[in-house]
Structure 1
Amino acid sequence: MSPTIPTPPQEPQDSPDGYVGLPAGRAEQRARERGWTTVRSLPPGAIITMEYRVGRLNFEVRDGRVTRAWKG
């Protein structure tokens, strides 16, 4: 029997650009509904690690609204 090769996890087929301008709470709810396993809201200029995580969506939030969104 040949060894099983693991299948890499899949990310939702969803564009981060569609979250910009949304209220942070609504953006997080929508992201989870669309299959993102981790959603991270960050203040502008936050210092974060740069490792890429499949299934993670990051939001930069200013005054309660998403100003930037990116995968990983």
Structure 2
Amino acid sequence: MAPNPTPSAEPDDSPDTYVGLEAGRAEHLARERGWPTVRSLPPGAIITMEYRVGRLNFEVKGGRVARAWKG
């Protein structure tokens, strides 16, 4: 049986630090800090709930990050 792959590590970074930032700046900063995947979503977007290691999600309202979470 093949071994399970080891997921890549996530940056030691709190999603809360992005709340209130302009969306483009937040995405750029997240990538600088090592997040390989950054996803910006409008309020109420329908998304799948699978957890993806290394993904940072932003809910963007009025051009600013209103909420941020891992996965």
Is the pair's TM-score, using the shorter chain for normalization, greater than 0.5? yes
Give the 3-state SS of the residue equivalent to 2:25 in structure 1: helix
* Matches of 1:53 and 1:13, distance apart in 2: 16
Equivalent residue, structure 2, for 1:22: 21
* Matches of 1:69 and 1:32, distance apart in 2: 14
- Note the residue ranges of structure 2 that are not aligned, 5 or more in a row: none
The one-letter amino acid of 2:32's match is: E
* Matches of 2:22 and 2:51, distance apart in 1: 25
The TM-score normalised by the length of structure 1 is 0.90
- Note the residue ranges of structure 1 that are not aligned, 5 or more in a row: none
Equivalent residue, structure 2, for 1:32: 31
Structure 1 residues 53-72: aligned runs within 5 Å: 53-72=52-71
| Segments of 4+ moved more than 3 angstroms | 3-7
The one-letter amino acid of 2:59's match is: E
Number of residues of Structure 1 aligned to a counterpart in Structure 2: 70
CA root-mean-square deviation:
1.5
The one-letter amino acid of 1:27's match is: A
* Matches of 2:10 and 2:40, distance apart in 1: 18
Give how far 1:26 is off: 0.2
**Residue identity (%):** 80
